[in-house]
Amino acid sequence: MKKSMMAWIMMSMFVLGTLPVFAQAIIADHNCTDISMIPRDVLDSAKVHFKMTYGHTSHGSQIVTGMSVLMGYDTLYDFNNDHYYYQYGSGSPAPDGDLSFWDYVPTGDLGSPDRYSWATRTHDMLDGTGYTIYPHGRNAVMWSWCGQVDGTYEDIQVAYLDQMNQLEIDYPDVTFIYMTGHLTGTGSSGNVHQRNEQIRQFCIANDKVLFDFADIERYDPDDVDYLDLGADDACNYTGGNWADEWCTEHSDTNLCDYCDCAHSRALNCNRKGRAFWWMMARLEGWIGSPENVTVITDETEVNITWSPVPGAASYRVYSSDVPDAGFSQDFTGAFSDTTWTTTIPTGGKKFYYVTAMDN
pLDDT tens digits along 153-167: 999 999 999 999 999
Query: What is the band of 130 on the pLDDT scale with cuts at 50, 70, 90?
Result: low
In 3D space, the residue among 232, 269, 275, 277 whose CA is nearest the CA of residue 247 turns out to be 269
Residue type, 41: D
Residue-wise pLDDT for 63-114, tens only, equals 999 999 999 999 999 999 988 888 777 888 888 899 999 999 999 999 999 9
Query: What is the band of 152 on the pLDDT scale with cuts at 50, 70, 90?
Result: very high
pLDDT: is 246 or 135 the higher one?
A: 246
Q: What is the pLDDT of residue 148?
A: 95
Residue-wise pLDDT for 76-89, tens only, equals 999 999 888 887 77
**Do 196 and 268 lie in a common domain?**
yes
Q: Where are the alpha helices (DSSP H) in the chain?
A: 3-14, 40-49, 61-73, 83-88, 117-127, 153-154, 163-170, 191-205, 213-218, 242-249, 266-283
**Do 215 and 95 lie in a common domain?**
yes
Residue-wise pLDDT for 266-281, tens only, equals 999 999 999 999 999 9
**Do 214 and 310 lie in a common domain?**
no
Domain stop point among 257, 286, 315: 286
Query: What is the band of 117 on the pLDDT scale with cuts at 50, 70, 90?
Result: very high
Q: Is there a domain that residue 37 lies in?
A: yes
Residue 22 has pLDDT above 70, yes or no: no
C-alpha span between 297 and 7 (Å, rounded): 11
Residue-wise pLDDT for 310-324, tens only, equals 999 999 988 887 777
Residue 21 has pLDDT above 60, yes or no: no
Q: Is there a domain that residue 118 lies in?
A: yes
Q: Is there a domain that residue 66 lies in?
A: yes
Domain stop point among 263, 286, 309: 286
Residue 289 has pLDDT above 50, yes or no: yes
**Do 246 and 318 lie in a common domain?**
no
Q: What is the pLDDT of residue 334?
A: 83
Q: What is the pLDDT of residue 348?
A: 65
Residue 322 belongs to a domain with what CATH number? 2.60.40.10
Q: Is there a domain that residue 20 lies in?
A: no
Q: Is there a domain that residue 259 lies in?
A: yes
- Mean pLDDT in the chain? 88
Q: Is there a domain that residue 175 lies in?
A: yes
Percent of the chain scoring above 90 in pLDDT: 70
Q: Quote the number of domains for the chain.
A: 2
**Do 150 and 187 lie in a common domain?**
yes
| Alpha-carbon distance values, 54 to 47, 106, 225, 265 (Å) | 15, 7, 29, 22
**Do 243 and 353 lie in a common domain?**
no
Q: Is there a domain that residue 227 lies in?
A: yes
Q: What is the pLDDT of residue 178?
A: 98
**Do 73 and 11 lie in a common domain?**
no
**Do 10 and 69 lie in a common domain?**
no
**Do 175 and 313 lie in a common domain?**
no
**Do 234 and 348 lie in a common domain?**
no
**Do 209 and 321 lie in a common domain?**
no
Domain stop point among 286, 314, 345: 286
Q: What is the pLDDT of residue 299?
A: 78
**Do 221 and 344 lie in a common domain?**
no
Q: What is the pLDDT of residue 13?
A: 33
Domain hosting residue 223, numbered range:
26-286
Residue type, 148: Q
Residue 196 belongs to a domain with what CATH number? 3.40.50
Instruction: Report residue 343: phi and psi, to 5°.
Output: -80, 150
- 33-47, 147-161, 316-330: least confidently modelled range: 316-330
pLDDT: is 154 or 349 the higher one?
A: 154
Q: Is there a domain that residue 21 lies in?
A: no
The helix/strand/coil state of 232 is strand
